[in-house]
């Protein structure tokens, strides 16, 4: 059995506090500084552990107030957010609610709906198809007027298609964000993730890197498309392929697969000099693993994330990342669903945002002199 990392030790202790009732729902947990002293770990390790627990729903943050314990629910119970209402209600289903880029998207949606006097019913699926089914059933029972959906596991067949067809039969407009189910060809607002993967990889190639690995989620279309962009850049620049150059994982097995492959690489003599990550959250985990091997970013390895989330600035070394429109996407989605509900746009057009790379100091030119080769 592999030794427990400091990151896992912190995370599991906080989860135990919640499970045992030591910290109750709504109560504030220890501050970042207190957790650093308590566990004798770095601020980076605490930040990653707490960030994961927020992302998974164990904790939630309130800006300026701190981090609090939340209910860990197995069932989805959508929450109605108050707004000045004219009797119209828009449903929003996301894969996650807490932390990362999702609050910005939701704030964008809510800000526009509020100005138009609409109420908002919000639910999350935890990227689980069965939970998506529960969310859709709840939305239909609440007689929503329109629906904005972030698909769950969008790269595989979705058995909930008939719920969307039921929405259509009831003349309830819906659109999808971040990705969409191709079987339905619905109106959607997405990022050109293939190009995002391409520019992230090309950036590293232009810095002189040749031993580059890509880590991509395979059960969501975002990950599949970002992987395609990675491969296209490698092909076009004629970078030699090698085993495990592309590593894929699913929502459920991310930790094991990514950590096992990184351990394998960095215990060998043929170490990658650059890594393209599916998103910023994964990049943070990669940095934590590499720290165990005394690998320095960007001196020993360059890392690129994706989404340009708040985590990109939370790194000790600021993270180069592909930007996501976040709040603008939320506002645009709200505008279009309201127009469809009010009969002003019965055939909303899809939008594809072109991503840009935000370059910070987690990437650097490859040092061309290989001292190992000189010795030999």
Q: Which pLDDT tens digit goes with each residue over 318-334?
A: 999 999 999 999 999 99
Question: Are 97 and 228 contained in the same domain?
Answer: no
Examine the domain organization and report whether 183 and 214 are in the same domain.
no
How many alpha carbons lie under 13 Å from residue 310 in its C-beta half-sphere? 13
Assess whether 134 and 274 both reside in one domain.
no
Around Cβ 268, how many Cβ atoms within 10 Å? 9
Asked if 194 contacts 229 with a C-beta cutoff of 8 angstroms, the reply is yes
More confidently predicted of 268 and 200: 200
For residue 61, CA distances in Å to 125, 207, 284 come to 19, 37, 19
Dihedral sign, Cα of residue 16, residue 19, residue 21, residue 25: positive
Q: Which one of 69, 94, 117 terminates a domain?
A: 69
Q: What is the pLDDT of residue 64?
A: 67
CATH number of the structural domain spanning residue 302: 3.40.50.2300
Q: How many domains does the chain have?
A: 3
Same domain, 162 and 85: yes
Residue 229 and residue 235 in contact, taking contact as beta carbons nearer than 8 Å: no
Neighbours of 16 (CB within 10 A): 11
CB neighbour class for 82 (10 Å; exposed up to 12, middle 13-18, buried from 19): exposed
Residue 108 has pLDDT above 60, yes or no: yes
Is residue 247 in some structural domain?
Answer: yes
pLDDT band at 307 (very low <50, low <70, confident <90, very high): very high
Residue 32: the pLDDT is 87
* Percent of the chain's residues with pLDDT above 90: 59
Percent of the chain, pLDDT > 70?
89
Parent domain of 56: 6-69
CA-nearest of 358, 313, 320, 322 to 44 is: 313
What local confidence, expressed as pLDDT, does residue 45 receive? Answer: 86
Whether 85 shows a pLDDT value over 60: the answer reads: no
CA angle 360, 57, 81 (to 5 degrees): 100
Lowest mean pLDDT segment, chosen from 66-80, 89-103, 174-188, 306-320 = 66-80
Residue 1 lies in a domain: no
- Whether 222 maps to a domain, the answer reads yes
Residue 4 binned pLDDT confidence (cut-offs 50, 70, 90)? low
**What was the pLDDT predicted at 249?**
96
In a domain, 285, yes or no: yes
Give me the pLDDT at residue 333, please: 97
- The residues pairing with 61 across neighbouring beta strands, listed in sequence order, are 67
Give the burial string for 196-221 (b: 16+ CB within 10 Å, else e): bbbbbbbbbbeeebbbbbbbbbbbbb
Residue 52 lies in a domain: yes
Q: Is the peptide bond before 298 cis (omega within 30 degrees of 0)?
A: yes
371 lies in the same domain as 224:
yes
Average pLDDT rounded to a whole number, residues 288-309: 93
What CA–CA distance (Å, rounded) separates 42 from 32? 10
Judged against a pLDDT cut of 70, whether residue 71 lies above it is answered with no
Structure-model confidence comparison of residues 2 and 189, the more confident one: 189
Please state the rounded mean pLDDT for residues 263-268.
91
Query: Per-residue confidence at 56, pLDDT binned at 50, 70, 90?
Result: low
Which letter does DSSP use for residue 267 in this model?
T
In this structure, are 146 and 270 located in the same domain? no
Residue 74 lies in a domain: no
Res. 363: pLDDT tops 50: yes
Q: Are residues 213 and 255 in the same domain?
A: yes
Domain check: are 16 and 150 in the same one? no
Answer yes or no: is 157 within a domain: yes
Q: Is residue 98 predicted with pLDDT exceeding 80?
A: no
For 82-111, what is the mean pLDDT?
79
**pLDDT computed for residue 81 by the predictor:** 44
**Given 43, 69, 95, which residue is the final one in a domain?**
69
Tell me the mean pLDDT in the region 343-347: 81
Instruction: Give the residue from 69, 98, 119 where a domain finishes.
Output: 69
Residues 201 and 317 in one domain: yes
Per-residue pLDDT averaged across 121-143, rounded?
Answer: 91
Does 124 score more than 60 pLDDT?
A: yes
pLDDT attached to residue 40:
85
User: What CATH number has the domain bearing residue 40?
Assistant: 1.10.10.10
Residues 301, 256 share a domain: yes
- Statement: residue 3 has pLDDT above 50: no
Side-chain half-sphere exposure of 245, counting CA atoms within 13 A: 16
Alpha helices (H) in 207-324, listed in sequence order: 221-236, 254-266, 280-291, 311-314
Question: Comparing 91-100, 225-234, 338-347, 361-370, which segment has the lowest mean pLDDT?
Answer: 361-370
Predicted pLDDT at 99: 61
185 plus 199 within the same structural domain: no
User: What is the residue-averaged pLDDT of the chain?
Assistant: 87
Residue 272 clears pLDDT 80, i.e. is over it: yes
Same domain, yes or no, for 218 and 280?
Answer: yes
């Amino acid at each position: 059995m592999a030794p427990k990392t400091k990151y896992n030790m912190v995370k599991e202790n906080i989860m135990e506090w919640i499970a045992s009732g030591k910290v109750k729902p709504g109560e504030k947990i220890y501050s970042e500084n207190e957790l650093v002293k308590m566990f004798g770990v770095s601020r980076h390790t605490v930040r990653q552990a707490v960030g994961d627990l927020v992302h998974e729903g164990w904790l939630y943050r309130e800006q300026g107030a701190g981090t609090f314990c939340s209910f860990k629910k197995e069932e989805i119970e959508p929450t109605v957010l108050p707004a000045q209402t004219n009797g119209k209600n828009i449903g929003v289903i996301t894969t996650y609610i807490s932390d990362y880029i999702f609050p910005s998207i939701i704030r964008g949606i809510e800000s526009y709906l509020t100005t138009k006097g609409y109420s908002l019913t919000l639910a999350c699926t935890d990227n689980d198809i069965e939970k998506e089914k529960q969310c859709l059933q709840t939305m239909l029972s609440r007689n929503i007027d329109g629906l904005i959906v972030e698909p769950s596991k969008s790269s595989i067949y979705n058995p909930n298609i008939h719920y969307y067809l039921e929405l259509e039969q009831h003349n309830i407009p819906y659109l999808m964000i971040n990705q969409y189910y191709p079987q339905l060809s619905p109106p959607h607002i997405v990022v050109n993730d293939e190009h995002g993967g391409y520019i992230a990889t090309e950036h590293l190639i232009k810095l002189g890197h040749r031993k580059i690995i890509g880590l991509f989620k395979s059960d969501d279309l975002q990950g599949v498309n970002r992987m395609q962009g990675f491969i296209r850049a490698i092909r076009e620049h004629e970078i030699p392929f090698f085993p495990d150059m592309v590593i894929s994982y699913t929502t459920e097995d991310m930790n094991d697969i990514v950590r096992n492959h990184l351990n394998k690489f960095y215990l060998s003599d043929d170490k990658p000099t650059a890594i393209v990550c599916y998103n910023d959250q994964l990049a943070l985990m990669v940095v934590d693993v590499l720290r165990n091997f005394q690998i320095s970013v960007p001196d020993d390895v360059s890392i690129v994330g994706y989404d340009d989330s708040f985590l990109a600035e939370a790194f000790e070394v600021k993270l180069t990342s592909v930007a996501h429109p976040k709040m603008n996407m939320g506002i645009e989605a709200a505008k279009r669903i309201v127009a469809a509900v009010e009969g002003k746009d019965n055939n909303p057009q899809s939008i594809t945002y072109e991503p840009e790379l935000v370059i910070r100091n987690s990437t650097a030119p490859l040092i061309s002199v290989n001292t190992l080769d000189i010795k030999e």
